[in-house]
Structure 1
């Protein structure tokens, strides 16, 4: 059985506002829970005007309070920008309020240079990423005996459970690091689709060292999913998605997610078509049955434990429809 999750960016649809986008994320999380998806994660994006999700911890608190059973997580917190101690405090507080429902997905994207500078303005040096991961594990395990520069320091509040720790990545370096630290591994297929992923995941599994947090390796693959009742409708949604991807790669992207109509009227240049062709490798597109087949092929080929879909398409009705169609196709149990 394929376990399905959802990752949402809180896209700001054309003609809408960031506040509306965040409320729509809440609707999507509640629907995902009702339909039987296992996890609902939210992203951290900075200086992307068409995306409202800039602070996953705060949004997670709202989502966890607005749902009852589904796991709520970050996809992910960009750890190099922050103090591991403060991240641990934030997520321990989330876990204390919503025990055994919180996932901490960790990444190391440094975003735009100006964002990186603003987030790290007062820092004179950076800790190695590996050290930050070690620090997180020290704090979540309440280890005050092992040698550490803050050996006696514990994170409040003191609780009996810990969030699940997931390392996000697209290559051998992140896979080996997740294996060495005994963390779960989430492969971002939507960012870097490649046959290499098979070997990356094998590397993670073969090098995995059990930790106090995880005894067996655990893998998620995340994919963009464009699903509709007909292939024609799916293609129209994919075309708007094509335009959004072009927008965010441009120097002055508009502050909204383009509609199908906007994409249809605008059209694409020859050079843009080449970019679109490359970007299409990052997406699963089609009817529910067609995308189900593609997901099952991914599951068979890469052997992940779970697959996360990113329904990053125009219109909340369409995003909710992706979840309904896939839940029906996979016969997810309604709760």
Structure 2
């Protein structure tokens, strides 16, 4: 059976606060741990009022402390903004305190221009190529002092024996090639950009995979938005709130909160927004637990995926907790 994971955005629900959202993420992680999910990841989202997870490493440390078994990871760290050495130190610290439970998901999303300007202020115009940044992180995580490198003898501390799992995140392009060449896992962002070429991209990763110190065989994940209701009607009402929120996010409106079911019910989509919603449906699986399970398994079969990561972006912490519980029962996790 394919492994099941969660990527949680720490949504700031209507009537809630960012602080409460982060505590709700912790409760969701603890429940996922008890239910038998394999991984629980959090993203790096800057200047998004309705998403509380801006610094995944800090949230990961808390989540790893309040859980026992589940792997905790970043989905992902946007490494062009940061020093590869500092990223390696951060994740070695996490791994040292929570050995064999830490995932480093690496991404390349730059964020908006204002975010980029603030994160790169006074860093100059010269930037390391993305491939080199990934290579640097791997050098530091593996204590490689034999290969040629501009900081050949430099070790990332704490110096420990275990390593976090490394995942490349993307929807094709460079991330697939980098994952294959460096022998890391790869996760395809179906929720971001479902494409007919996705199957091809994953096949290329498998064909070109080079065994590494991280793993001997390729490992593929697929991430998808999931909205789960006890009935089809409930799932659709939850989905309307999701569509309202994501349309706003992707048209640069930066909403303060994730809308409630009631707010979404009373919202009238423009003709442009209705067209957008029809496209968004391709990025999500919506329905009852049994229907969602069936579609997830079809998705895994289509992509030949080893793991599935659900992104439960629907309103209400109680609904999200109930949703992952119902899905775990449908998949018979932990049994």
Could you say what secondary structure the match of 1:244 adopts? helix
Partner of 1:231: 232
Partner of 1:255: 256
Distance in 2 between the 1:102 and 1:310 partners? 19
Q: Cα deviations across residues 68-95 of structure 1 (Å, max 9, x unaligned)?
A: 1100000000000000000000000000
Instruction: Using the TM superposition, give the Cα deviation of residue 253 of structure 1 relative to its aligned residue in structure 2, in angstroms.
Output: 2.8
Residues 310 and 136 (structure 1), Cα distance of their counterparts in 2 relative to 1, 3 Å cut: same
Distance in 2 between the 1:325 and 1:310 partners? 15
Distance in 2 between the 1:160 and 1:37 partners? 26
Residues 245, 259 of structure 2: 8 Å contact kept:
yes
Distance in 2 between the 1:264 and 1:76 partners? 32
Partner of 1:39: 39
Residues 74, 104 of structure 2: 8 Å contact kept:
yes
Instruction: Using the TM superposition, give the Cα deviation of residue 266 of structure 1 relative to its aligned residue in structure 2, in angstroms.
Output: 1.4
Partner of 2:156: 155
Range moving further from structure 2, 113-122 or 251-260 = 251-260
Could you say what secondary structure the match of 1:321 adopts? helix
Residues 172, 203 of structure 1: 8 Å contact kept:
no
Partner of 2:70: 70
Partner of 1:274: 275
Instruction: Using the TM superposition, give the Cα deviation of residue 144 of structure 1 relative to its aligned residue in structure 2, in angstroms.
Output: 1.2
Structure 1, unaligned runs of 5 or more: none
Aligned length: 334
Distance in 1 between the 2:203 and 2:279 partners? 25
Partner of 2:313: 312
Q: Cα deviations across residues 23-55 of structure 1 (Å, max 9, x unaligned)?
A: 000000000000000000000000111100000
Instruction: Using the TM superposition, give the Cα deviation of residue 252 of structure 1 relative to its aligned residue in structure 2, in angstroms.
Output: 3.1
What's the TM-score once normalised by structure 1's chain length? 0.98
Trace 1:319-330 onto structure 2 (pairs within 5 A): 319-330=320-331
Distance in 1 between the 2:334 and 2:254 partners? 40
Q: Does 1:212 align with 2:213?
A: yes
Instruction: Using the TM superposition, give the Cα deviation of residue 254 of structure 1 relative to its aligned residue in structure 2, in angstroms.
Output: 2.3
Distance in 1 between the 2:180 and 2:247 partners? 35
Could you say what secondary structure the match of 1:212 adopts? coil
Residues 42, 60 of structure 1: 8 Å contact kept:
yes
Could you say what secondary structure the match of 2:265 adopts? helix
Distance in 2 between the 1:186 and 1:198 partners? 12
Distance in 1 between the 2:253 and 2:202 partners? 36
Partner of 1:107: 107
Distance in 2 between the 1:177 and 1:100 partners? 23
Distance in 1 between the 2:157 and 2:177 partners? 30
Distance in 2 between the 1:177 and 1:254 partners? 35
Q: Cα deviations across residues 70-129 of structure 1 (Å, max 9, x unaligned)?
A: 000000000000000000000000000000000000001000001001101111210001
Instruction: Using the TM superposition, give the Cα deviation of residue 291 of structure 1 relative to its aligned residue in structure 2, in angstroms.
Output: 0.6
Residues 7, 43 of structure 2: 8 Å contact kept:
yes
Distance in 2 between the 1:312 and 1:5 partners? 14
Instruction: Using the TM superposition, give the Cα deviation of residue 194 of structure 1 relative to its aligned residue in structure 2, in angstroms.
Output: 1.7
Range moving further from structure 2, 309-318 or 166-175 = 166-175
Structure 2, unaligned runs of 5 or more: none
Partner of 1:128: 129
Range moving further from structure 2, 118-127 or 50-59 = 118-127
Residues 169, 186 of structure 1: 8 Å contact kept:
yes
The ranges of structure 1 where at least 4 consecutive aligned residues each deviate by more than 6 angstroms after the TM superposition are: none
Q: Cα deviations across residues 174-204 of structure 1 (Å, max 9, x unaligned)?
A: 2112101111101100001122111010000
Trace 1:161-240 onto structure 2 (pairs within 5 A): 161-240=162-241
Residues 245, 255 of structure 2: 8 Å contact kept:
no
Partner of 2:138: 137
